[in-house]
């Protein structure tokens, strides 16, 4: 688990990529009709299906992230002072990417585990 951003924003990024990917596929498929005629329609159909699946998947991710973030506890980041949400035992601040944890045994400023490498730009 080596995430640079917090879990919530990582999931949002993936969802966004899925939307663009899905739309890209649909546009690409539609342009196939113009370029390849009859065969292009079949290709377009396939691309449409994949595009729709990608869009649906991203909607599910968005919904899921929404559910998660409503349940996630809101805390004040000790590093930058902004309000951020935490998922699970450890997560990164949404703004400054500082690793935050509930577990006192992990709450060191040192870099003992590989997960705790290099706090991002302060
Ligand atoms: Zn912060």
Q: Which residue matches tokens 């991203």?
A: 58
3-state class (DSSP) for residue 120: coil
At residue 35, the pLDDT reads 80
At residue 2, the pLDDT reads 55
Structure tokens at 13: 């990024």
Residues with Cβ within 5 Å of ion ligand 1? Answer: 77, 79-80, 93, 95-96, 98
> What is the tens place of the pLDDT at every residue in 102-118?
877 776 665 544 444 44
For residue 120, what pLDDT band results from cuts at 50, 70 and 90? Answer: very low
> What is the tens place of the pLDDT at every residue in 22-66?
888 888 888 877 887 788 888 888 888 988 898 888 889 888 888
Per the DSSP assignment, residues forming a β-bridge with 85 are 74
Ligand 1 centroid–CA 99 distance in Å is 9
Residue 1 scores a pLDDT above 70:
no
Residue 11 scores a pLDDT above 60:
yes
Per the DSSP assignment, residues forming a β-bridge with 90 are 101
Ligand 1 centroid–CA 71 distance in Å is 19
Distance of alpha carbon 44 from alpha carbon 26, whole angstroms:
7
Structure tokens at 57: 């998947």
> What is the tens place of the pLDDT at every residue in 82-91?
999 888 888 8
Q: Which helix (H) or strand (E) holds 96?
A: none
Ligand 1 centroid–CA 9 distance in Å is 13
At residue 45, the pLDDT reads 86
- Torsion sign, CA atoms 59, 61, 62, 67: positive
């Amino acid at each position: 688990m080596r995430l640079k951003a917090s879990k919530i924003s990582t999931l949002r990024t993936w969802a966004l990529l899925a939307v663009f990917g899905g739309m890209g596929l649909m546009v690409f498929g539609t342009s196939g009709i113009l370029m390849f005629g009859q065969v292009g329609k079949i290709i377009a159909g396939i691309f449409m299906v994949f595009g729709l699946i990608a869009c649906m998947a991203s909607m599910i991710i968005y919904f899921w992230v929404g559910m998660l973030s409503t349940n996630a506890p809101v805390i004040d980041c000790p590093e930058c002072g902004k309000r951020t949400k935490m998922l699970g035992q450890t997560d990164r601040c949404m703004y400054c990417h500082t690793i935050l944890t509930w577990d006192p045994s992990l709450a060191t400023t040192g870099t003992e585990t590989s997960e705790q490498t290099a706090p991002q730009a302060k």
